[in-house]
Structure 1
Amino acid sequence: MRSLESLLLFMGGGEVVLLLFTAGPVNITWAEEKKNVVNIFQCFYPAQATGEALLNLFTTVNNSVNPSGRLPYTWYKYANQIPSMVDYSMKEKTYRYFSGEPLYPFGFGLTYTTYNYSNLVVPATVKIGEPVPVQVTVTNTGLFDGDEVVQVYIHWLTTKEPMPNLQLVAVDRVFIQKHTNVTVKLTIDAQSMAVWTDKGFVIEPGSIQVYVGGQLPNQKKTVPSNVLTATFKIVEAKL
């Protein structure tokens, strides 16, 4: 990484697009902090059509190509944020338990367009064991057609059991033409609301907060779209 930093200095501050061919996160905090690094692409390990794919991505091919990938992991900012390999607890591991500030959050990813979320519909109450229907309107407010990755997270408000800070419970990839909107319907399965107890996983009565958007909620590093929130209550079914 030091050689890359030296290269940027050698270029005299010219604009740089950084391409990463890695299986997972590496230390690029320095690149995020440099103003002349204008774009960073996580390419993973692509195949023989890599050059053509990147050319299409950079030129957009008549506005028809638009990146829409999302990170499948938390990209830590500093090495000291990574838990020890011999610590088998879940403390500070994954987006579900991490309490620090990552370089890039789980589910993060930029595109050439922008989106707006509105008209979130979630039932006020559901019976134990029933799924929760979620409906939201997503508008492509930018200049490019694109795929938006709609993400639904929940947070337990009333349980006394130690549960994750957030839990991804539904996701969908939706193609939306520019200046149009679509209605997206998703479902939170009953098992996703279960709480771990001494008796195993149990669905408890209580309140759960829902977050719906194209990103993990409450993050310093965000994508240019909003996150909607709602609350529903789980109630016991009458016999």
Structure 2
Amino acid sequence: MSIRLAVFDCDGTLVDSQANICAAMERAFAALGLPAPPRPAIRAIVGLSLVEAMALLAPALPPATHVALADTYKAIFRGMREDGELDAEPLYDGLVAALDVLAADGWRFGVATGKSDRGLAHVLAMHGLADRFVTLQTADRHPSKPDPAMLRAAMARAGALPHMTAMIGDTTFDMAMARAAGVRAVGVTWGYHREEALWRAGADTIAHRCADLAGCVAA
């Protein structure tokens, strides 16, 4: 029997983490004496690996500064977690129920995220979701989205074929990654990129509520 695999993005798809990401990004730029990007710009790069995100946020700066910003961001975010400064990163309404419906229909789950291993593990443990996922792919071990490496690794780990796999995400990076990997691209509108941008990036279908996911992944 073929494995059906639903791979989820994390930030903006499973959890709403924008408050922490924006705060840490503003602190990182300030630590290097740089003006922080506006929050809409920060939200727009969520999902990319950090160096790639910094290059988009500050294209006039040299690559070495992008690396320094990424390293500073990671240190600041880790410090915020250790000091108990992180805001709650709530699951989106109806997400657990949607996972239950999909699991009952035989779907297995993975994650493909720009988060680190540590950051993803923290989020999944906080919400009691760690046991739900058979494969976890992060920026620690793969090129940034939209490179398809994370999806290819997820399918290999789960034993799933592209035509039986769906990528679920809120950004154009997720849709482009799905296209590059040859899997179904399912956009969601409760995250950080606009619906029309998801369509332009190659979404096969769009979910407006978590309750829509079961129909979208299998359509």
Shorter-chain TM-score: what band?
under 0.3
User: TM-score if structure 2 supplies the norm length?
Assistant: 0.24
Give the structure with the larger strand fraction: 1
Structure with the larger RCO, 1 or 2 (CA within 8 Å, 6+ apart): 2
User: TM-score if structure 1 supplies the norm length?
Assistant: 0.22
User: Could you say which structure has the larger radius of gyration?
Assistant: 1
Give the structure with the larger helix fraction: 2
